[in-house]
Amino acid sequence: MDNLIDAHWFPLASQGNIYSMTKLCSVIGSNKVLVASLKRKIYSCEYNRTPKRRHLRPLVKELLFTYIPSGAEIISIDAYNKLSIGDEFVIGITIIKTSNESTLERYLNIYTEGGGDGESDENSSIETVAQNCLMVELAYTPCHLYHTTLLGGADDSMQETVWLLSGNDNKIHMIKENKESHDYAESPLDKYFPELDKLEGIATWIDIYYYLNQTRRLTAVGCECGLVKVSLVNVMEMQIIRNWTLRYDKPVSSVRIFSNENKLDQPVFICDKESCSQEAILEPSLNVLIVNAVCASVVFTDVLQNDMGSDVRLPGSETSDCVLCSCIADINMDGKNEILLGTYNQEVLVYTHVNDTWELTERRLFDAPVHSMAYLDLTGDGMKELIVLTLRGVHVLQHDPVQVKKKFAERFRKYLIVKDSG
């Protein structure tokens, strides 16, 4: 992480948790991160250009979301963009509140513009979303809030985005939009996600990866009791092809499905239909990262070929207090993904894939326990930034422009050599 420099930092009014930060990616505007604190305050962070467009300035503002009553605590937040050619944001926030009768009220608040045209003003879009709330009352205490794609059949136009919410009732619940009434309600989970049914554990993290033109998916779930379930599903027939179950002695704080190579989608103007369609039908090499809170974290390599039989321990992950979060990111810009672990010991551990194993190559110390991390282009310059949420505030780490310039010049020279030789 030596090539990452501090670009910005802002404090929080109160601490958050491992579910308190989410990305909000824009098609027509700037990307943002949303950060929630336990005591009702929610902030957005983005970068705007000065009027003469010479400089970037961070913009942090508090968002006033409706229907978050006084005394409520925010448990988790998640968000996504509903459109691929515009912006129509949907934001989910779970809250709990102790009423005067000493009973616990629990809700999933879903905020959306509801217009559906994607032509809203990008500067007022978030404020508009924050005022339109649909409440779903919960009979359980919420935990991890996660959104994923739901396919309605062979026709891709039938796909939609749904919420998956874990609770203290040892279940995962699917919250789905009713297109006719324009509200949200719980739908049967076993019909669409049979691999998540009858979990019998409090899920602390969910990750789902679609591939082969979304006809297959790999699902990983980690639980508070140490249970981990990984499933391979035939999406078109909604049948479980393979199931793997692991049990650890300590809680699992997160699970991630990822590939070693950091592959980017080719631009349309250089990607011909034949090569793009050929790449879409190739089976990827997928790894599963299991982050144990206290014990050593483990990477299971190429699970589609090796099942869960080839594993590599991450050295040092068991000696750095409690590991709270993880992130997959190519932070050294070599085309291969690194594993980042955030710890209660105020450190971010960076693991690099070297000779079929994972080595601890860097440590970075922060001012407080690390609760969450995200990797996205926040400044709009084409380079992604690492966003680190700690107990005290949010750090924005930017790639050193000098190093980026050198890396670009080096790769451009290689491109010219290959082009001339071809």
Q: pLDDT tens digits for 202-228? A: 999 999 999 999 999 999 999 999 999
CA atoms of 385 and 394, how far apart (whole Å): 12
Write down the pLDDT at residue 122.
Answer: 45
Write down the pLDDT at residue 153.
Answer: 45
Write down the pLDDT at residue 29.
Answer: 85
Q: pLDDT tens digits for 370-421? A: 999 999 999 988 899 999 999 999 999 999 988 888 888 888 888 788 767 7
Q: pLDDT tens digits for 53-90? A: 667 889 999 999 999 999 999 999 999 998 888 899 99
Q: Give the residue-averaged pLDDT of 92-121.
A: 79
Confidence band of 115 (pLDDT split at 50, 70, 90): very low
CA atoms of 221 and 205, how far apart (whole Å): 6
Phi and psi at residue 257, to the nearest 5°: -105, 125
33, two tokens: 């991160």
Confidence band of 120 (pLDDT split at 50, 70, 90): very low
Q: pLDDT tens digits for 188-197? A: 999 999 999 9
pTM, rounded to two decimals: 0.92
By the 10 Å C-beta count (0-12 exposed, 13-18 middle, 19+ buried), 286 is classed as buried
CA atoms of 311 and 313, how far apart (whole Å): 7
Write down the pLDDT at residue 267.
Answer: 59
Percent of the chain with pLDDT over 70: 90
CA atoms of 218 and 196, how far apart (whole Å): 12
Q: Whose CA is closest to 407, among 329, 331, 333, 352?
A: 333
How many CB atoms are located within 10 Å of the residue 348 CB? 26
Decide if 231 contacts 218 (C-beta within 8 A).
Answer: yes
